[in-house]
């Protein structure tokens, strides 16, 4: 373990009017589509990277993605996404998990779910704090009705009850046909699901999930990349990879 990172000097970061309006949209609806989050060359690299991993591991979910190569590590501080994550969650954030998902042809619909298991209240806690977790999907194949959009229920991140255990349609659901290059940020409490893949091709996505640095992460951050970041990284990189061990 390297030295602890210096804590950020302020919790709420300064934001441009554009980011402020994105934050307002996110708070209200629980998701955000960010245009031009990654460029064509990065998309190509990520596709190659995931294809290669899938050919070795042959698993739908590939965990601890940042340990798997440089094409993935560049997502950690993607400037458009990171700016918005900090604007919403505050400056003290860490990675919760980085996951690749390769959905093969014939894969069935995911059920509605929240990514987080904790209870939700419309009021937060008396002290104003909400546990937060925000995922960000970089879809590497254009999503269509065939290969499976990501389906969400806008605004459901605040409802104080859980989603049904099925994939029935909601009257107010939105099927997002994400494009490569876009990134889809969504609150971990938002009702969502990946739809079935009825195409002939793999449906590939990298999911980068962040949370306040005082929460428990899913990853243990004990791989070589995480260790190197904590030894040699900037204060932000140390913090992102679990460098704040205690408060």
Ligand X SMILES: O=C(O)CCC(=O)C(=O)O
Q: Residue numbers of the site for ligand X (CB under 6 A)?
A: 101, 115, 137, 150, 192, 194, 205
In angstroms, what is the minimal distance from the CB of 246 to ligand X?
Answer: 30
Beta bridge partners of 182: 180
Q: What is the CA radius of gyration of the chain?
A: 18
**DSSP 3-state of 107:** coil
In angstroms, what is the minimal distance from the CB of 140 to ligand X?
Answer: 11
Q: How many residues does the chain have?
A: 247
Q: Which is nearer to ligand X, 205 or 241 (CB)?
A: 205
Q: Which is nearer to ligand X, 50 or 239 (CB)?
A: 50
With CB under 5 to 8 Å by kind, the binding choice for 22 among Fe ion, ligand X, none is none
With CB under 5 to 8 Å by kind, the binding choice for 101 among Fe ion, ligand X, none is ligand X
With CB under 5 to 8 Å by kind, the binding choice for 194 among ligand X, Fe ion, none is ligand X
In angstroms, what is the minimal distance from the CB of 120 to ligand X?
Answer: 17
In angstroms, what is the minimal distance from the CB of 93 to ligand X?
Answer: 20
Site residues (vs Fe ion, CB under 5 A)? 115
3-state SS string over 146-180? CCCCEEECCCHHHCCCCCCCCCCCCCCCEEECCCE
Beta bridge partners of 134: 187, 210
Q: Which is nearer to Fe ion, 64 or 239 (CB)?
A: 64
Q: Which is nearer to ligand X, 205 or 239 (CB)?
A: 205
With CB under 5 to 8 Å by kind, the binding choice for 189 among Fe ion, ligand X, none is none
Nearest alpha-carbon partner for 37 in 149, 175, 178, 144: 178
Distance CA 132, CA 116 (A): 9
Q: Which is nearer to ligand X, 71 or 196 (CB)?
A: 196
In angstroms, what is the minimal distance from the CB of 97 to Fe ion?
Answer: 11
* CB 228, CB 67: distance < 8 Å: no
With CB under 5 to 8 Å by kind, the binding choice for 180 among Fe ion, ligand X, none is none
Q: Which is nearer to ligand X, 150 or 189 (CB)?
A: 150
Q: At what angle do helices 17-29 and 79-89 cross, to 10 degrees?
A: 60
In angstroms, what is the minimal distance from the CB of 146 to ligand X?
Answer: 14
Distance CA 154, CA 126 (A): 25
CA dihedral 190, 195, 48, 95 (to 10 degrees): 20
With CB under 5 to 8 Å by kind, the binding choice for 5 among Fe ion, ligand X, none is none
């Amino acid at each position: 373990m390297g030295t602890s990172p210096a804590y950020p000097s302020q919790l709420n970061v300064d934001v441009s009017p554009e980011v402020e309006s994105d934050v307002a949209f996110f708070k209200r609806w629980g998701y955000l589509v960010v245009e031009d989050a990654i460029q064509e060359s990065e998309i190509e690299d990520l596709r190659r990277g995931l294809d290669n991993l899938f050919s070795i591991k042959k698993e739908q979910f590939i965990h601890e993605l940042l340990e798997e190569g440089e094409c993935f590590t560049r997502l950690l501080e993607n400037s458009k996404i990171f700016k918005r994550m900090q604007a919403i969650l505050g400056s003290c954030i860490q990675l919760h998990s980085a996951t690749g998902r390769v959905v093969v042809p014939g894969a069935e619909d995911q059920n509605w779910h929240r990514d987080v298991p904790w209870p939700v209240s419309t009021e937060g806690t008396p002290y104003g704090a909400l546990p937060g977790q925000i995922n960000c999907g970089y879809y590497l194949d254009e999503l269509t009705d065939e290969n499976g959009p990501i389906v969400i229920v806008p605004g459901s991140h605040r409802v104080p009850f859980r989603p049904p255990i099925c994939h029935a349609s909601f009257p107010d659901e939105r099927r997002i046909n994400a494009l490569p290059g876009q990134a889809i940020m969504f609150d971990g409490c938002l009702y969502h699901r990946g739809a079935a893949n009825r195409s002939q091709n793999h449906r590939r996505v990298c999911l980068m999930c962040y949370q306040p640095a005082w929460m428990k992460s899913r990853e243990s951050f004990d791989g070589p990349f995480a260790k190197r970041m904590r030894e040699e990284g900037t204060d932000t990189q140390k913090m992102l990879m679990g460098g704040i061990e205690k408060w």
